[in-house]
Amino acid sequence: MARPLHVYVHVPFCARKCPYCHFYNLGHDDGREAVWLDGLAREIALHREAEAFDGARLATLYWGGGTPSLLGPEAFERAADLLLGIAPRSHRLEWTLELNPGDATRDRLRVWRDRGVNRISVGAQSFDAARLEFLGRTHGPETAREAVCAVADAGFEEVSLDLIFDLEVPGVSPAWRRRTWARDLAIAFSLPITHLSLYGLTIESGTAFDARARAGERLTASDAAYAAEYHATCRAARRAGFEHYEVSSFAKPGHRARHNAAYWTGAPYLGLGPAAHSFDGVRRWANVSSLTCWAEALATGGDPRAFVELLTPLQRELETLYLGLRRVEGIESDHVLLGGPAEAVARALVREGMLVERDARLACTERGFLLLDGMLERIADAASASFDKVPGRP
Ligand code: SF4
């Protein structure tokens, strides 16, 4: 049987840098677009030479960024030709394209749909003018709503929405924050979406928000507000008939994101484009975060990667544990890392209501999802200390 191929493509262009964003991107123009397309063709050829596509079937294709919806029609067609040509397509190919709400024109949507894109991820982030302004977004609340409706009207089967919570908008009260978040959720679930991706605002190093936070400005709310907004989202999703299937993801039954699921289940994936990450089952690597350096390396027979990391057996097991506990399915109760002192930690987490055990699997409760990072740290500390002594260790 053909091996499933999961491909991520980084389109590194944005109209403007959002103050919280740490992804690699730069301004869009025709010259840069041509450099990116040239590099993409060379990178695909390089992987073809290495027989990376032999015996594979394209199962998921994800165009992220950056802002893929900024690509001009010719660049979109050329990139689509290149990417769809790498391997035969699965009859259930999931092809996602990230959309900035302001780019949702009828013509663009028709071209994408006719070409085979079947999943659109709308970067709305909020439906409130003050929240959007705080986030430095270029669109307003109405544009965000209209974009979701335009995507659904254009006939896309899968419509995903991004929302960001835990914002400390200057000069507003906690009551205002609660009210506007509740309104964001009410609007989101009243729209024709099939999937919601939830992001807690994180202050990433090197961003404009990072500089403001270092200067003493408070940009995220309290732990209590974070928890209240997270739980409010879970309740609203349940009421709307969405499954909470991953720590930050909610979907109508049958509409889970298959590309993201590949990441969370430890499947190999290939990243193309500057700053794109890849994983082949034992090695992880990332391309350089520079369009020019990435394209030059590919044009001159150099290596476009910034690093390659061979995972140790412990890292591989920890990754299975991390990724498994992000998902509602959890991990097997007899996972190799739970064979030593970490077993006592896992039992304690069950008693504390963070984990639940059913059908010989351990999975997070809603509270566990909320406190996932701290919980993983506790398990990982105990497991790493005893890894060499764990019976049955690979
Ligand atoms: S549009 Fe998205 S990728 Fe571009 S700067 Fe904003 S958050 Fe980052």
Q: What is the pLDDT of residue 380?
A: 86
Summarised one tens digit per residue, pLDDT across range 35-58 is: 999 999 999 999 999 999 999 999
Pick the residue whose CA is nearest to atom 7 on ligand 1. Answer: 21
Instruction: Calculate mean pLDDT across residues 97-119.
Output: 97
User: Looking at the structure, do residues 91 and 151 belong to the same domain, yes or no?
Assistant: yes
What is the rounded (10 degree) CA torsion for 135, 136, 138, 143?
20
358 plus 226 within the same structural domain: no
* Nearest CA residue ID for atom 3, ligand 1: 66
Least reliable range by pLDDT among 70-84, 112-126, 367-381:
367-381
**Above 60 in pLDDT, residue 394?**
no
Ligand 1 center from residue 67 Cα (angstroms): 7
Is pLDDT above 80 for 390?
no
* Per-residue confidence (pLDDT) for residue 34, from 0 to 100: 98
121-167 residue pLDDT tens: 999 999 999 999 999 999 999 999 999 999 999 999 999 999 999 99
Residue 342 belongs to domain with CATH number:
1.10.10
200 falls within a domain: yes
Number of domains in the chain: 2
Q: Which of 335, 326, 330, 332 is nearest to 382 (CA)?
A: 335
Ligand 1 closest atom vs CA 137: 6
Range of the domain at 69: 3-264
Q: Which atom of ligand 1 is nearest to the CA of 98?
A: 2
pLDDT, tens digit (0-9, with 9 covering 90-100), for 296-311:
999 999 999 999 999 9
Indicate if 318 and 206 belong to the same structural domain.
Answer: no
d(CA 350, CA 226) in angstroms, rounded, equals 23
Pocket test for ligand 1, best of 9, 67, 99 (most atoms within 8 A of CB): 67
C-alpha distances out from residue 354 to 97, 250, 348, 362, Å: 35, 19, 9, 10
What CA–CA distances, in Å, run from 384 to 177, 311, 363, 388? 40, 14, 20, 8
143: in domain: yes
Ligand 1, pocket-test mutation among 11, 24, 25, 126, most atoms within 8 A of CB? 25
Ligand 1 atom showing the smallest separation from residue 21 Cα = 8
The whole-number pLDDT of residue 391 equals 41
User: Which residue's alpha carbon is at the smallest distance from atom 2 of ligand 1?
Assistant: 66
Question: Which whole number is the average pLDDT over 82-102?
Answer: 97
According to DSSP, residue 220 is labeled B
Question: Using 50, 70 and 90 to split pLDDT, how confident is the model at 386?
Answer: low
Which CATH number fits the domain that encloses residue 86?
Answer: 3.20.20.70
Residue 385 in this model has a pLDDT that exceeds 80: no
- CA distances 321 to 135, 154, 232, 338, Å, are 33, 40, 27, 9
pLDDT reported for residue 6: 98
Distance 222 CA to ligand 1 centre (A): 25
DSSP state string for 327-389 = BTT-EETT-GGGSSTHHHHHHHHHHTTSEEEETTEEEE-HHHHHTHHHHHHHHHHHHHHHGGG
Measure the CA angle with vertex 146, ends 143 and 148; round to 5°.
Answer: 110
Q: Are 250 and 237 in contact (CB under 8 A)?
A: yes
Above 60 in pLDDT, residue 392? Answer: no
Q: Give the model's confidence band at 239: pLDDT under 50 very low, under 70 low, under 90 confident, else very high.
A: very high
Average pLDDT over the chain, rounded to whole?
A: 95
Rounded distance from Cα 15 to ligand 1 centre (Å):
8
* pLDDT over 70, % of the chain: 98
The verdict on residue 227 lying in a domain is yes
pLDDT tier, 336 (very low <50, low <70, confident <90, very high otherwise): confident
Assess whether 53 and 160 both reside in one domain.
yes
Q: What percent of the chain lies above the pLDDT cut of 90? A: 90
